[in-house]
Structure 1
Amino acid sequence: MVKEKACILKFVEIMVNLLVLICVGAAQASVAGFTSLGGFGTSSFSLNSAYSPFEGTELQEVRELDMQFTQMRAPCVYGGVAFSLTAAALTLVFLVVGAKPIQQLRTGLLAGECAFNLLAGAAYVAAVGLYLHFVSQVNSTEVCKRRERLYARRGYTSMNCVVQGGDAAVGLFGVVAACLYFASFVVCILAIRTVRAFQSNMAKAQHSPKSSIRDRSVRNHHVASRTSESSHSIQALATLV
């Protein structure tokens, strides 16, 4: 029962890691700007589109600001993608390796899994804090504020210098992932206790037949000695008679 819970938690952790990965990409696409390639052409106009509300020097300025803003946020994207992919891959490894019957599990492997769960949970808490802190720092720069003013002139108020919904989703799913890894750590400790109890019972079961045979041989020896002594007594009594 404990291993089934651990496998379910591992599967959910992989899904949440993928959600974090998706939210990181979506957050970058939503704030990259219309003229930036980081926007993936999902907005109303892009670098190569026929229509653009910006013209002349204003268009050039918006392009430069979008590029600078995208480059400033690049560490968030690369770090978030690398972190979530690594966590998902390692979780998948432990899921595959740990999907064995309880008699085939080793406490050393479970101890490594417990250490990974604890470190992953703590790392996710730290990563979410660093991600939101870095996003806030980028949003407080002059590049972001100038970019916000330019877009606001044309009625595009979504390009503002506050934490966007995508960034908030990254933080939310990151906290959920941390809670799942901490829960997996507790379940892993219970799994170690279960495996040790199972191994202890198996060891007792293996030694109990030998001990019972030994006890029977000792009892048979005592009975035989008592029989021989009684026979000697009868023979002595018969000689006297």
Structure 2
Amino acid sequence: MAERGCPGAGRRGRAVAGGRAVAGTAPEEPLERRRCRYLRTGRACCQMVEVLLAVLVLVCSSVSGGSAGGYTGLPALGGIYYYHYGGAYSGFSGADGERAQQLDQRFYLLKLPIARAAMAVGGCLLVFPCILILVGVLQVPWHFPAWLLIECALDIAIAVGTVPALYYFFHSLVGVYNSSVCKEREQLYQSKGYQGFSCSLHGAEVAVGLLGCLATVAYLFSAVLAVRGYRAVCQQKQKPVQL
């Protein structure tokens, strides 16, 4: 009976003598036949790289959407400690301190949806390769070779979809940094001599873009490996067992 997903797979033979395979003529071990060996394949390594990139995207996105920082007032040690990011600031008093707090909160709320969307995408990019690794360890591609073609299509879809996602991410951030809230906040902190509040992309946000580009390349490479894996599985299923 032909194997589903591989044309001509029914020509595979089975050599048996007295109900057992002839000694010294064991069949050639098929691709991904042993579960532990899958983790050493090129596809598995590529999927592990995708996992790593997704984790880094999550971390950088969380930094981008973290606390807005800024002035915290004297009750929160604003007059004692000075931090460049996320801490308390001296130099503010009265109306300026209240205005700084309001601007920090409004700026934080403007960036929060963008950061959450980036974290959601990063979470999806983390879950997908983990599922593929599990599928490979369970030898699903060997029993159902057509899965590799499905995997290839999904990899290409993710790689292509990452491009507009990155455009939306940076386009939205640029809109936030060009807003009147950010401009007023920047001027207020600069008037007190504080740096680090400029309305421009910071390192973590730039890193998200670079990691997204690397993820696109990794998924395209993974798609190529999936097609090669499909061909290799089909070829091995068509091989007769040699005596």
The verdict on a shared fold, with TM-score over 0.5 as the criterion, is yes
Alignment equivalent of 1:33, drawn from 69, 72, 91: 69
Distance 1:45 1:98 in 2: 47
Aligned equivalents of 1:122, 1:103: Cα separation in 2: 24
120, 127, 131: which one aligns with 1:93: 131
Identity of aligned residues (%): 25
Name stretches of at least 5 consecutive residues in structure 1 with no aligned partner.
37-41, 210-241
* Contact in 1 for aligned 2:54/2:123 (Cα 8 Å): yes
* Unaligned runs of at least 5 residues, structure 2: 1-30, 33-37, 73-80
Q: Does 1:6 align with 2:43?
A: yes
Aligned: 1:155 with 2:193: yes
May I ask how many residue pairs the two structures share in their alignment? 199
Question: RMSD across aligned C-alpha pairs, in angstroms?
Answer: 2.9
**Structure-2 separation of matches of 1:10 and 1:183:** 10
Q: Which aligned runs of 4 or more in structure 1 are off by greater than 6 angstroms? A: 45-48
- Equivalent position of 1:170 in the other structure: 208
TM-score of the superposed pair, with normalisation by structure 1:
0.74
TM score, norm. by length of structure 2: 0.73
Deviations 1:127-181 (A, max 9, x none): 1111111100111111110000011112222111111111101101111111101
Distance 2:84 2:141 in 1: 61
Which residue of structure 1 aligns with residue 170 of structure 2?
132
Distance 1:145 1:59, change over 3 A: same
Verify the 8 A CA contact 2:140 2:147 in the aligned structure 1: no
Match of 2:153, SS state, is helix
Larger radius of gyration: 1
Given that 2:85 and 2:196 are in contact with CA atoms closer than 8 Å, whether structure 1 keeps it comes out as no
Of the structure 1 ranges 21-30 and 172-181, higher mean CA displacement relative to structure 2 is found in 21-30
Q: 1:184 aligns with which of 222, 226, 229?
A: 222
- Aligned equivalent of 1:108: 146
State which of 30, 38, 55 in structure 2 corresponds to 1:18. Answer: 55
Does 1 or 2 have the higher relative contact order (CA < 8 Å, sep 6+)?
A: 2
